[in-house]
Amino acid sequence: MTQQPFSRPGAVDLSGLASTPAQDAPFGGPADAAPAQGRSAGSYTVEVDEQIFQSVLEASMTAPVVLVFYSASRAPESVTYARDVSTVVEQYDGRFLVGLVDIDKNPQIAQALQVPQVPLLYILLDGRPVTQPIPGALNLEELRTVFQQLGQQLTTQGIGGRHKPNAIGGGATEEGAEPALDPRYAPAQDALERGDIDAAVAEYEKLIASNPADSEAAAGLAMAKVLQRTQGVDLNAARAAAAAAPEDVDAQTLVADLDLLGGHVEDSFLRLVELVRRTSGDERNKAREHLLGLFAAVGNDDERVLKGRQSLASALF
């Protein structure tokens, strides 16, 4: 699968949704078909209708929302695909929220987003599409790859928000009651959301102290430390300092951190691999350890990390 980089090309135009007649929609179903009521289909999956559509979009201000457009009448396989997306995303414990949109029952939503076909997958963040729409039905392995890559990009960009379970259309909690937060990661995520990076580092360190095998906490800690090291840093000044002192490990690792946060993951890794190649002794070990920390922040299963490890091994030996 080709990686889908996050970007923010523009807000979704929903201005005509409330007033657009159903019969004018490109995917208009039977005139007397009643729309499905928005309801929870899983802890982080909701069946979307016009009544809750705005709430689903607003949820993308917290963490990404995945909209899956399907139709039993036009593409029967899209129904299975929608369930597969839900199955994969539910494993991410709130990193994503899935909104399943039956376009036969909700043609106005399809019209608002100009959906050309089904199945179609949209990923939204801050109310905006963050990738090109993904058409067609992917198999489970391809879906796992897509969401693994997106999850890694979220970590790389310091986006740590999570959805609360059953937050939309759930009915699983009493009226006015707050759904339970993820018991492991909520304190660290809350700290990140309020901009308290030091507190987030401390919370992740507590998680790892209690469970050294917690790979997600380790990745979160590595990313939080990148954020901690780059707080208040002037990018242009840092680059100028690194250019002026190519053997200065501190200057080079700082720019590598900034490259990682800017989404230039391969450039970040290459900078430190070359630094390892040029240095020796304590300086070389410091550069190597820093690079290993960046690998952890991105995720050890990421193809770029696998290639980076190969390059590091070549530089060391």
Q: Indicate the pLDDT class of residue 24, thresholds 50, 70 and 90.
A: very low
pLDDT digits (tens, 9 = 90+) for 218-259: 888 999 999 999 998 998 999 999 999 999 999 999 999 999
pLDDT, position 298: 86
State pLDDT tens for residues 32-50: 333 334 455 678 999 999 9
Taking the CA atoms of the chain, what radius of gyration do you get in angstroms?
22
- Comparing 218 with 4, the larger pLDDT belongs to 218
Averaged pLDDT for residues 4-8:
41
**Is residue 95 within 8 Å of 102, Cβ to Cβ?**
no
pLDDT for 183 equals 64
Query: Which tens digits make up the pLDDT trace of 90-134?
Result: 888 788 999 999 999 999 999 888 899 999 999 998 888 888 899
The pLDDT of residue 178: 43
Q: Which residues pair with 66 in a beta bridge?
A: 98, 123
**Two tokens at 198?**
């030091």
| Mean pLDDT for the chain overall | 81
**What pLDDT was estimated at residue 170?**
53
For residue 81, pLDDT beyond 90: yes
Q: CA 38: distance to chain centroid?
A: 24
Asked if residue 275 has pLDDT above 80, the reply is yes
Answer yes or no: are the C-beta atoms of 220 and 185 closer than 8 Å: yes
Whole-angstrom distance between the N-terminal and C-terminal Cα of the chain? 32
More confident call, 152 vs 22: 152
pLDDT at 160 over 60: yes
Choice among 108-117, 156-165, 308-317 with the minimum mean pLDDT: 156-165
Beta bridge mates, 223? none
Question: How far, CA to CA in Å, does 96 sit from each of 133, 195, 219, 299?
Answer: 16, 21, 17, 17
Q: What average pLDDT score do residues 151-167 get? A: 77
Q: At what angle do helices 197-210 and 186-193 cross, to 10 degrees?
A: 170
Question: Are residues 117 and 103 in contact, defined by beta-carbon separation less than 8 angstroms?
Answer: no
Between residues 236 and 158, which one has the greater pLDDT?
236
Amino acid identity for residue 226 in this structure = V
Higher pLDDT, 3 or 251: 251
CA–CA separation, 119 and 159 (whole Å):
28
Local structure of 292: helix, strand or coil: helix
Q: What pLDDT, on a 0 to 100 scale, did the predictor assign at position 256?
A: 95
Indicate the helix (H) or strand (E) that contains 97: strand 97-102
Mean pLDDT of 200-211: 90
Tell me the CB-side half-sphere exposure of residue 188, using CA atoms within 13 A. Answer: 26
Which pair of tokens denotes residue 4? Answer: 């889908």
CA-nearest of 180, 109, 92, 91 to 100 is 109
Only one residue has tokens 């069946």, namely 47
What value does the mean pLDDT take over residues 160-186? Answer: 62
Q: For residue 119, say if its preceding peptide bond is cis, omega within 30 degrees of 0.
A: yes
Whole-number pLDDT of residue 4 = 43
Q: Which of 127-131, 169-173, 281-285, 312-316 has the lowest mean pLDDT?
A: 169-173
- Is the predicted pLDDT of residue 309 greater than 90, yes or no? yes
Q: Which spans in 64-214 are helix H? A: 77-90, 107-112, 140-156, 186-193, 197-210
